[in-house]
Structure 1
Amino acid sequence: MALSRFGQVFGRWKGAVIGMIHVKALPGTPLNQYGVDQLVEMACTEAQIYKEAHVDGVLVENMFDVPYVKRSSLGPEVVACMTKVCCEVRRIIPRSVPCGVQILAGGNQEALAVSKACGLQFIRAECFVFSHVADEGLMDGCAGSLLRYRRTIGAEDVLVFVDIKKKHSAHAITSDVDIVATAEAAKFFLANGVVITGSATGQEADHNQLHDVASNVDIPVLIGSGVTKENVHKFVDANGLIVGSHFKTDGKWTGKVEYDRVRSFTDLVKQLRGE
């Protein structure tokens, strides 16, 4: 069922390229230097590039809001600003191309609310099952409350892709639970897909983990960090490829999205997919 829904939303089963839009620091965060209209304009500029480069999906994230706070400390201004940004991005990206949102840190219910308001198709969620220690502190599993909230607001058409053994986190407290068991737990708790990453933003994931999870758990598997033109052949069998840093100037997530970098990547992936 999960694989079927992924295919229906993305129009393909494997190798879907999802481009990241890292929204500049939002009002109230330490690095903020732009007004809301400017934030929207910059995000829409990147959305236009992704549209012209023919990506298979777009994911909007408040990456510049460092240092991140846990969900209990997220202010309403974050949800308000991300809603405006996502609605404008959704206007640019063709309806046939799914859009999603992630709100750091752990703002999974907030992401669902934004998705509902803006007509988005998926969210990326942190700490869906088990617990881990992140930069922001201890993060607890949220699957039960998150999916009940999704049902409450009538957003059951929004897919929930969940990070497992998430980057920028310590997993010592679940060291006896391997990544396959974690993926199995995510499936049991009704996740629509799992995201595998490297240890940090821009760090390559372990392709052996992709193989192990995909071979043992009947659920979409996405790669969430470190995919480049040089290594994409290792990961093209994943259902989705979430790419941010590689599409930016000098391959750094803090740079600007560059059309040539995106288009050359999507062209290569199409070749690898046999199109």
Structure 2
Amino acid sequence: MNRFGEIFRKCLKNKTSIIGMVHVRSLPNCPLSRLSVQQLVDISCAETEIYKKYQLDGICVENMFDVPYVTRRDSGPEVTAVMTRVCAEVKKCAPNLPIGVQILAALNQEAVAVAVAAGLQFVRCESFVFGHIADEGYMDGCAGSLLRYRRHLNADHILVLTDIKKKHSSHSITSDVSIGETAKSAQFFLSDGLIITGQSTGHFPKLDELKDIQELNLGIPLLIGSGVDDNNVGDCIEQEVSAVIVGSHFKKDGLWSNDLCENRISRFMDRVHQCSQ
């Protein structure tokens, strides 16, 4: 069993893991920041308790409200500090669930540092292989430096789950590199799991791209990172993807910036259980 399976199947009730997003409200020094650090913690922990109630298989914490996003060059130490505090408290709320973190935009080393300090199990990494133009500007591949940093921290136990051909980006620079070739490169560069997404937040990836990657038999987990809902989660389970990461669909009216909606989560998990029989 791969390392992803070892971590997630300790609590797995379905053959496809369901990972819910905790979108941390805007951090200090960001344009939309209005809340104290303690309020950020309280809201994140309250969302974690809801996910526990409906027996999700994992949680990923992300600073989604920090728009407009910046890369490491313009990010301050307060981001790493506050995300560490939030993630540590979330982990306390759900000590038996796999918990991960993503720090926008492409603060991948910082995410690994947070995961080490907070006792998390995985990070979601942008721009692992190949360059692309994102909302925030040009992003370069980071696999070599990131995995060396992980080794430097003696943190090889932390999974690095990697977006390929990620959303909100132009891939014209690598238009001659197929998503299959990108997946093979990520696998060769020691990714612990491949995440495929649609064109933007809330959009499901193309099924033909999913099938193209599956046919490669790369031997590493495949996750869907956007657009999963009641209507297509059955397809995900039928295709035996390792996990789906759900954010927008669990919010009121399906909008990522709204509060969690327990009715939507309950209905979704009922559908998951039906499809997993």
Tell me the TM-score normalized by structure 1: 0.96
Aligned-partner residue type, residue 21 of structure 1: V
| 1:26-175 alignment, distance < 5 Å | 26-95=27-96, 97-175=97-175
> After the TM superposition, which of the residue ranges 24-33 and 215-224 deviates more from structure 2?
215-224
Give the Cα–Cα distance (whole angstroms) in 2 for the partners of residues 84 and 261 of structure 1: 28
Give the Cα–Cα distance (whole angstroms) in 2 for the partners of residues 207 and 238 of structure 1: 12
Give the Cα–Cα distance (whole angstroms) in 1 for the partners of residues 228 and 208 of structure 2: 14
- Out of 256, 260, 266, the position equivalent to 1:263 is 266
The answer as to whether partners of 1:207 and 1:235 remain within 8 angstroms in 2 is no
The answer as to whether partners of 1:49 and 1:258 remain within 8 angstroms in 2 is no
The answer as to whether partners of 1:70 and 1:106 remain within 8 angstroms in 2 is yes
Stretches (4+) displaced over 3 A: none
Deviation at 1:192, TM superposition (A): 0.2
Deviation at 1:267, TM superposition (A): 2.3
Is 2:255 aligned against 1:252? Answer: yes
SS in 2 for 1:130: coil
RMSD value, Cα: 1.1
Deviation at 1:115, TM superposition (A): 0.3
User: How many residue pairs were aligned?
Assistant: 271
The answer as to whether partners of 1:54 and 1:263 remain within 8 angstroms in 2 is no
Aligned-partner residue type, residue 189 of structure 1: F
Gaps of 5+ in 1: none
The answer as to whether partners of 1:53 and 1:262 remain within 8 angstroms in 2 is yes
SS in 2 for 1:111: helix
The answer as to whether partners of 2:48 and 2:90 remain within 8 angstroms in 1 is yes
Is 2:237 aligned against 1:273? Answer: no
> After the TM superposition, which of the residue ranges 198-207 and 101-110 deviates more from structure 2?
198-207
Q: Show CA shifts across 1:130-171 (max 9, x none).
A: 000000000000000000000001111000000000000000
Give the Cα–Cα distance (whole angstroms) in 1 for the partners of residues 209 and 219 of structure 2: 14
The answer as to whether partners of 2:26 and 2:63 remain within 8 angstroms in 1 is yes
Give the Cα–Cα distance (whole angstroms) in 2 for the partners of residues 214 and 220 of structure 1: 10
Aligned-partner residue type, residue 271 of structure 1: Q
Deviation at 1:177, TM superposition (A): 0.5
- Out of 3, 7, 24, the position equivalent to 1:5 is 3
SS in 1 for 2:195: strand
Give the Cα–Cα distance (whole angstroms) in 2 for the partners of residues 251 and 264 of structure 1: 13
Deviation at 1:211, TM superposition (A): 1.5
The answer as to whether partners of 2:187 and 2:220 remain within 8 angstroms in 1 is yes
> After the TM superposition, which of the residue ranges 152-161 and 201-210 deviates more from structure 2?
201-210
Aligned position for 1:210: 210
Deviation at 1:14, TM superposition (A): 4.0
Q: CA 1:125 to 1:112, structure 2 compared with 1: closer, same or farther past 3 Å?
A: same
